[in-house]
Amino acid sequence: MVAVQQQVPDHQLIIELTERSNGVSVLETALVDAAHFINAHGLKLSLDDVGSGENQISLLRPLLPFSVEVKFALQNFTTARPDNYKQLVFWQKLALADAKDFVLEGIETIEDLALADQLSINLRQGYYYDRPHQFY
């Protein structure tokens, strides 16, 4: 990825840090070291699926200084739990307070769109807009 970034200096590569359940535990120090490496080599870091699975504030707080964006996956909250909205607002406020872009992922319905509008979330992803396309 570093070599690719060097070959396309007019573009910015963003590495998305996502959680994967494979039974392997990663130490916080290893994550911070990786984030530092990413930044030191001119790449940017995105924290994906915040608030779901293991991607909770205790794990991600040390990575915030290295990241440029925080992505909240609306589609991971399929049940109508009262704290879903609170979590969304928490992560949005945290991102904005730390001058990070906040992206709402999983926009699939007009109701999702209305929620994003209500919270003034301008960066959005989801099937509501279109399905992903292969670009290479």
- pLDDT tens digits for 13-28? 888 988 776 665 667 7
Residue 24: predicted pLDDT: 59
Task: Give pTM, 2 decimals.
Answer: 0.85
Q: What is the pLDDT of residue 93?
A: 97
| Residue 134, in any domain of the structure | no
Identify the DSSP state of 11: S
Q: How far apart are CA 46 and CA 70, in angstroms?
A: 6
Task: Report the half-sphere exposure of 77 (CA within 13 A, side-chain side).
Answer: 21
CATH number at residue 105: 3.20.20.450
Give dist(CA 122, CA 133) in Å, integer: 21
Q: DSSP labels for 40-61? A: HTT-EEEE-STTSTT--HHHHG
132 within a domain of the structure (yes/no):
no
pLDDT tens profile 27-85: 778 889 999 999 999 899 999 999 888 788 988 999 999 999 999 998 877 666 668 88
What is residue 54's predicted lDDT score, i.e. its pLDDT?
Answer: 79
Q: What pLDDT is attached to residue 23?
A: 60
Quick check: 110 pLDDT over 70? yes
Task: Tell me, yes or no, whether 66 lies in a domain.
Answer: yes
Supply the pLDDT for residue 79. Answer: 62
Whether 133 maps to a domain, the answer reads no
Q: How far apart are CA 31 and CA 71, in angstroms?
A: 17
Question: Is position 105 within any domain?
Answer: yes
Q: What range defines the domain where residue 73 resides?
A: 2-19+27-124
Residue 135 counted as domain residue? no
Task: For residue 136, tell me if it sits in a domain.
Answer: no
Residues 52, 76: contact at Cβ < 8 Å?
yes
How many domains does the chain contain in total? 1
Look at residues 100, 41, 109, 29 and name the one whose alpha carbon lies nearest to residue 74: 109
The pLDDT assigned to 69 comes to 97
